[in-house]
Structure 1
Amino acid sequence: MSPEGKTVTALVAVVLTMGALAWAAVPFYDWFCRVTGYGGTTQVSQTGSDTVLDEVIRVRFDANVDPNLDWTFRPMQTSMELKIGETGLAFYEAVNNSDVAVTGTASYNVAPEVAGYYFDKIECFCFTEQTLQPGERIEMPVSFFVDPELVGDRDASWIRDITLSYTFHRTEPKQAALDAAPAANVN
């Protein structure tokens, strides 16, 4: 192969490799955040903790709304104290202030960020889209616990206050997006 051919082959390989890495970056980053708790990303659990410690932790609740979503969204309690490992149940309220049905999805994190690895959600309104009719008000639960392994982590053992924060964003309902997609050509 000529030197020019080797150069072209190497450049094509670099472009393909960069394209593959760019394509894989989003799912890999999402996986990385879920596994490590990076950026305050919380964990998901099917059940509560098997261990409850005799140490108390306070969870504070925060709510935000994207400016293009005409909703009122707030925690129904400002904070809650529970034992580490104990299952907590908190509620948030959402009200659609517009005159049309609106669908929203909540993004979430915890602070301090290192607590994300130990904050486990069992059930959460943030796992699914929420569609509110005009003027509709709903109460949405979140069930969670703080993993007792927190106290054994040298970087997180000092944490006794965690803030759980949500931001609601306007989204198109999944079914409406599917209905609006162009039909595949069938020949």
Structure 2
Amino acid sequence: MSPEKRTVSWLLGVVVLMGALSWAAVPFYNWFCKVTGYGGTTQVAEQPSDHEIDEVVRVRFDANVDKNLDWSFKPMQNRMDLKIGENALAFYEAVNTSDEPITGTASFNVAPEVAGYYFIKVECFCFTEQTLQPGESIEMPVSFYVDPELVNDRDAKWVRDITLSYTFHRTEPKQAALDEDPAKAVN
């Protein structure tokens, strides 16, 4: 093989490798955040906690709305003081203030970031799209606990104030997109 063909083959291989790495970056980053709690990403449990300890943590609640979403959105409580490991239920309220049906999806994070690994959601409205009709309001629950292992973590054991923050973003409803083009269905 000539040096020119070898160089072109090598460069083509680099381009393919870079494309593959960039394609894999988002799923890998999401996986990394879920496993480590990096960036305030919370963990998810299938069932409530069965163990609590006699130390108290304060959870504060924050709500934001993307500027493209005509909703009001707020926590129904500002904070909760609970034992570490205690199962808790908090509520948020969203109101569609526009004159059209709007679908939104919530993103979330926890601060400080180190607490994300120990903030466990059992049930959350952020796992599904929310479609509200004009003027409609909805109360949305989030069931959670703070894992007692928090007190054994070298970096997180001092955390006693945690903020759970949600931001609602406008999204296109999945069902409407499927009704328009059934080829968009993903199996």
TM-score, reference length from structure 2: 0.96
Aligned to 1:56: 56
Letter in 2 for 1:96: N
Q: What are the Cα deviations for residues 149-170 of structure 1, in whole angstroms up to 9, with x where unaligned?
A: 0000010000000000000000
Aligned to 2:127: 127
Deviation at 1:183, TM superposition (A): 5.0
Letter in 1 for 2:158: W
How many residues in Structure 1 have an aligned counterpart in Structure 2? 184
Q: Matches of 1:27 and 1:109 in 2, distance apart?
A: 18
Letter in 2 for 1:83: K
Deviation at 1:5, TM superposition (A): 1.1
Letter in 1 for 2:163: T
Aligned to 1:169: 169
Aligned to 2:115: 115
Aligned to 1:136: 136
Q: Matches of 1:183 and 1:15 in 2, distance apart?
A: 31
Q: Are positions 1:81 and 2:81 aligned together?
A: yes
Deviation at 1:77, TM superposition (A): 0.1
Aligned to 1:65: 65
Deviation at 1:175, TM superposition (A): 1.1
Partner of 1:67, secondary structure, is coil
Q: Matches of 2:182 and 2:123 in 1, distance apart?
A: 35
Q: Are positions 1:147 and 2:153 aligned together?
A: no
Aligned to 1:97: 97
Q: Matches of 1:55 and 1:70 in 2, distance apart?
A: 40
Q: Matches of 1:131 and 1:66 in 2, distance apart?
A: 15
Deviating 4+ runs (over 6 angstroms): none
TM-score, reference length from structure 1: 0.96
Deviation at 1:49, TM superposition (A): 1.8
Aligned to 1:41: 41
Q: What are the Cα deviations for residues 4-55 of structure 1, in whole angstroms up to 9, with x where unaligned?
A: 1110110010000000001111111111111110100000000122220000
Gaps of 5+ in 2: none
Q: CA RMSD in A?
A: 1.1
Q: Identity over the aligned pairs, expressed in percent?
A: 77
